[in-house]
Copies of this chain bind each other. A is one copy, B any other.
Amino acid sequence: MISKKMTELVKGSSVIRAMFEEGRRLAAEYGAENVYDFSLGNPNVPAPKAVSEAIIDILKTKDPLYVHGYMSNAGFPEVRRAVADSLNERFGTSFSEENVIMSVGAASGLNVIFKTLLDPGDEVITFAPYFGEYRNYVSNYDGVLNAISPDTSSFQPNLKELSERISEKTKAVLINSPNNPTGAVYSEETIKELGRILEQKQKEYNKPIYLITDEPYRELVYGDVQVPFVTKYYRNTIVGYSFSKSLSLPGERIGYLVIPSELDDYKAVFAAAGVATRILGYVNAPSLIQLAVSECLNETTDIGYYERNRNTLYNGLTELGFSCQRPEGAFYLFMKTPEEDDASFCDRAKKYNILTVPGSSFGCPGYTRIAYCVSYETVVNSLPKFRLLAQEYGL
């Protein structure tokens, strides 16, 4: 008696979450130390101490009616101001609290913005490989997600194809950099060219095309890699952010949307996003953790830990003969599977208690995503297992 849409969705329910449950099962059977679970983007580096210190300090010094109470649907004004100030300082922007809506993680931010923008049949374009949930977030509002085919040479977005595919129906383009699942960071050149194409298409179709940039991994980059702040390159940009990865708080569901004042129809979009936050049942981002993150805007989790994992895994896998691009950010490595059928590869890997997600789940078959937000020991100890797997394939 469930709805037709949900019947389909339950059938094809997230491969990633299913693997999460599978990982727990294997860990119970073989012991966690003998399972190499690279399936989920669940940070393994703990939240900085500053987060729990902030929470305890808030609980001890502030009025509980304030700390746990309702506020505007967009969030505490002082928290939104702190977020705006922090962005302005880092990126030379000029946002105010009227440009920030606190959200229940990035996932709710994206739902809010799609609820705000999409009429049935409206098209959102994204670039393969892409986070599979995007399809659901868009479909929730009867929009259509169209994916541009991957450029597997660089995993930068295929802008030539974008240019050809934008149509009258295109309401928004959705990007994600640092990227899940590839670990690629879109270069400034890419963002500039993307902005140029969108400007041109806006003129051609005489309507705004919003660029939605999903940035939960913005802080997770290695070495001197820079992540361009997209609002500076294209006026009709909306940013979705999450503290899930940067502060290792994925369970807390806390993030924000940035809706710049220079956006076409800014006032309506900002007001509607507040209403969408309310009627979708989020009401507001969780209050205590809103206050806590606003005290920790300059903190990040230990990125060096992920970087060491990245180096060891990338070097180890390439030495074994696997083929992959060196990730520049996030905590994912996207590896070419030695057989065409990526699901079959993942099944073979499971024999060695290695769990990775088929690239097909990201619209990019022939690859697999290895989430290296795991202990260093897991990375190190997985390599002999990967070696056995490589041998199976005669690498």
Contact = CB atoms under 8 A, between A and B. Distances in A.
A249 B289 CA distance: 13
Contact of A71 (B64, B67, B251, B279): B251
Interface in A277-298: 278-289
A70 B42 contact: yes
A55 interface: yes
| Copies, count | 2
Contacts of A3: 115-119, 122, 141, 272
Nearest to A283: B107
Contact of A207 (B1, B40, B269, B276): B1
Nearest to A13: B275
Interface residues of A, number: 86
Given A3-B115, A52-B59, A287-B252, A9 B279 contact: yes
Which residue, A17, A71, A279, has most C-beta atoms of chain B within 10 A? A279
A188 to B, nearest CB: 27
A63 B282 CA distance: 27
Interface in A114-137: 115-119, 122, 133, 136-137
A1 B23 CA distance: 44
Given A65-B248, A252-B288, 17 more contacts: A1-B171, A3-B116, A3-B117, A3-B118, A3-B122, A6-B116, A13-B271, A13-B275, A14-B275, A17-B73, A20-B70, A42-B69, A47-B64, A51-B68, A67-B251, A105-B283, A108-B280
Q: Which 4 A-B pairs have the closest CB atoms?
A: A251-B287, A107-B281, A111-B281, A136-B279
